[in-house]
């Protein structure tokens, strides 16, 4: 090992293959999240990350009064302080595997060189940010990112939308096919200012082919309560009867289809007088759906045909209630999975990366939803068929743990709530206690990235997206000032009035 490397400390105490303690009296205190290298007995160089640091001064350990502290501070020297830290062993620099033997106590700990850090962090397909400890690009392996799925987690205002925008920009550069379920319409007008990487964006209007969905989904769309079993029973019978008589090609519009179902329901009234109230309510719900949700329902529509290959496809869902969002996401997710399975069987795979904003709304922990069925299936099976998944949420504790656990890659920004932290840790074996402790102290735009897309955990400053998108914090003070100025001009008197009172 080269002697010019900076020694920052020495390994002390008992060592293990995954964790060691070091001692230092270095003037420059090593930062949490910085990287070190250790030379093992076999000559191999191993990379580690500092997960915790504390300072100690032996001469002050037994001091119990402020007066004594003031006296001792006049006598203390810089080397009176000891730095004690914990290092997580990340892997052999060459083989990227954790050694099977621990290092010896007394072994030097060096600050990792830029050459090593670039070798470990800067060889992937897309750049997501820079290391917090050094200005080294952090690049992710897209094959592992998409096939092993991703979760972007943080409290509100910590940069999730910016992270998604950076990810979209980088995937666009690779000519990826992406679909964003954009719950708040944040990416509808996304634009990159990078002349060399103009975004290819395709906006898809949310539509549902009502002929293709089940009678239960139709009832959900019409707002029929789950507990209204009789209404749902009659809707099911009416749908079955209509589909026996008519194919989709026989019908002109969604209104024709719904009206035929209504006609069938009305025909049940004579023979089912005891259930007349339930039938009338079902008819009312369906007519109400035509009136208020006519913009969502259609016929002769295949959502897969609206997805452009090699584009960033945005499906804005703002303005819709959670029930409608759930139905649309489940419907399109099901169609995508079926289409990609078919494409693979035909020898023409069509990889796609799905980004699900506000994931806790549609795949919650304690409630069953229609989306949960297909999103969890994509999480389990998608990698076989080229369907990658990214969950974005500020409430990890309310996310379905089974689906979250399938997201092997994590980009985690600030999480303060202990239950959120525990939920994330339970979903990922790679998030250690010491890394978990760093979450509350992260600043805006900073994140912990772990998973096979990076291989080695990193504390990262996420790049700032060079462009515009929605979802950024409002400049509230500026808006108030602007509205006040405009109102003041409108209310200014036009001049003196000399007329009669």
Cα Rg for the chain, rounded, in angstroms? 30
Sketch out the chain's domains with CATH numbers.
7-112 (no CATH), 126-206+303-468 (3.40.50.300), 215-297 (no CATH)
What's the pLDDT at 4?
65
What's the pLDDT at 372?
93
What's the pLDDT at 96?
73
CA–CA gap between residue 269 and residue 288 (Å, rounded): 19
- What is the pairing mode between strands 45-56 and 35-39? antiparallel
pLDDT per residue rounded down to tens, the chain (501 residues): 444 678 888 999 998 988 899 988 766 778 888 899 998 877 788 888 888 888 776 655 565 566 656 655 555 555 556 788 888 888 888 877 788 888 989 999 998 889 889 988 999 999 999 998 888 999 999 999 999 999 998 877 778 899 999 999 999 999 999 999 999 999 999 999 998 899 999 999 999 999 999 999 999 999 999 899 999 999 999 999 999 999 999 999 999 999 999 999 999 988 888 899 999 999 999 999 999 988 999 999 999 999 999 999 999 999 898 989 999 999 999 999 999 999 999 988 899 999 999 999 999 988 889 999 999 999 999 999 999 999 999 888 889 989 998 999 999 887 766 777 676 766 666 666 666 667 777 888 888 898 899 878 888 999 999 999 876 666 788 888 888 888 887 776 655 545 544
What's the pLDDT at 2?
46
CA–CA gap between residue 356 and residue 336 (Å, rounded): 14
CA–CA gap between residue 92 and residue 113 (Å, rounded): 14
What's the pLDDT at 487?
81
What's the pLDDT at 1?
41
3-state secondary structure of 427: helix
CA–CA gap between residue 25 and residue 122 (Å, rounded): 31
- Quote the Cα angle for 201-334-219, to 5°: 110
What's the pLDDT at 501?
45
DSSP letter string, 241-255 = HHHHH--GGG-S-HH
């Amino acid at each position: 090992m080269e002697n010019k490397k900076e020694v920052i400390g020495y390994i002390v105490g008992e060592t293990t293959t995954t964790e060691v303690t070091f001692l230092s009296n270095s003037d420059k205190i090593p930062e949490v999240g910085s990287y070190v290298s250790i030379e093992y007995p076999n000559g191999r160089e191993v990379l580690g990350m500092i997960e915790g640091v504390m300072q100690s001064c032996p001469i002050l350990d037994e001091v119990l009064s402020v007066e004594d502290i003031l006296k001792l501070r006049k006598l203390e020297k810089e080397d009176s302080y000891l730095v004690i830290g914990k290092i997580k062993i990340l892997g052999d620099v060459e083989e990227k595997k954790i050694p099977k033997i621990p290092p010896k106590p007394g072994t030097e700990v060096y600050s990792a060189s830029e050459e090593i850090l670039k070798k470990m962090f800067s060889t992937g397909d897309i750049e997501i940010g820079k290391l917090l400890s050094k200005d080294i690009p952090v690049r992710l392996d897209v094959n592992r990112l998409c096939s092993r799925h991703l979760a972007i987690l943080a409290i509100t205002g910590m940069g999730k939308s910016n992270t998604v925008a950076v990810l979209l920009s980088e995937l666009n550069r690779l000519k990826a096919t992406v679909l964003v379920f954009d719950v708040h319409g944040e990416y509808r007008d996304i634009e990159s200012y990078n002349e060399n990487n103009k975004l290819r964006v395709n906006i898809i209007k949310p539509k549902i082919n009502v002929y293709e969905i089940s009678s239960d989904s139709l009832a959900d769309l019409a707002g029929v309560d789950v507990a209204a079993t009789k209404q749902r029973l009659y809707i099911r019978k009416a749908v079955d009867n209509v589909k026996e008589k008519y194919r989709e090609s026989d019908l002109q519009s969604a209104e024709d289809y719904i009206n035929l179902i209504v006609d069938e329901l009305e025909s049940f009234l004579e023979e089912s007088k005891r259930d007349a109230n339930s039938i009338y309510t079902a008819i009312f719900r369906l007519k109400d759906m035509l009136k208020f949700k006519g913009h969502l329902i259609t016929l002769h529509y295949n959502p897969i045909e609206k997805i452009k290959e090699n584009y960033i496809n945005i499906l804005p869902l703002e303005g819709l209630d959670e029930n409608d969002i759930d139905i649309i996401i489940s419907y399109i997710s099901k169609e995508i999975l079926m289409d990609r399975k078919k494409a693979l069987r035909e020898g023409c795979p069509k990889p796609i990366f799905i980004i699900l904003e506000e994931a806790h709304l549609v795949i919650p922990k304690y409630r069953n939803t229609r989306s949960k069925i297909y999103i969890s299936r994509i999480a389990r099976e998608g990698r076989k068929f080229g369907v990658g998944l990214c969950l974005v949420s500020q409430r990890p504790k309310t996310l379905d743990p089974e689906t979250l656990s399938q997201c092997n890659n994590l980009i985690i920004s600030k999480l303060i709530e202990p239950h959120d932290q525990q939920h994330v840790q339970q979903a990922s074996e790679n998030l250690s206690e010491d890394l978990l402790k760093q979450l509350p102290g992260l600043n805006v735009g900073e994140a912990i990235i772990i998973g096979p897309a990076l291989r080695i955990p990193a504390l990262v400053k996420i790049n700032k997206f060079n462009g515009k998108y929605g979802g950024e914090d409002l400049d509230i003070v500026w808006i108030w000032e602007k509205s006040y100025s405009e109102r003041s001009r409108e209310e200014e008197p036009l001049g003196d009035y000399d007329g009669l009172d």
